[in-house]
Amino acid sequence: MQAEWTEEAIQRITTENATLKQRVRQMTADNRTLDERLKAARSNLRLADSTVR
């Protein structure tokens, strides 16, 4: 079975695909930033913990 796509449907899907790709890029960057902040917080906690002992 072959679906027939209208030009409007193709344009809508293409636009949505581009939007989703941009969201993935942004979320990947956000995730990287949060991961770096988490690593820094863990490091600070280890340092503070060793200082208290």
Q: What is the pLDDT of residues 1-53, one digit of tens each?
A: 568 999 999 999 999 999 999 999 999 999 999 999 999 999 999 988 888 76
Residues 15-40 as b or e (16 or more Cβ within 10 Å = b): eeeeeeeeeeeeeeeeeeeeeeeeee
Distances (CA, A) of 34 to 20, 22, 26, 41: 21, 18, 12, 10
Q: Is the dihedral of CA 5, 7, 11, 14 positive or negative?
A: positive
- Please indicate, yes or no, whether the overall pTM of this predicted structure exceeds 0.85: no
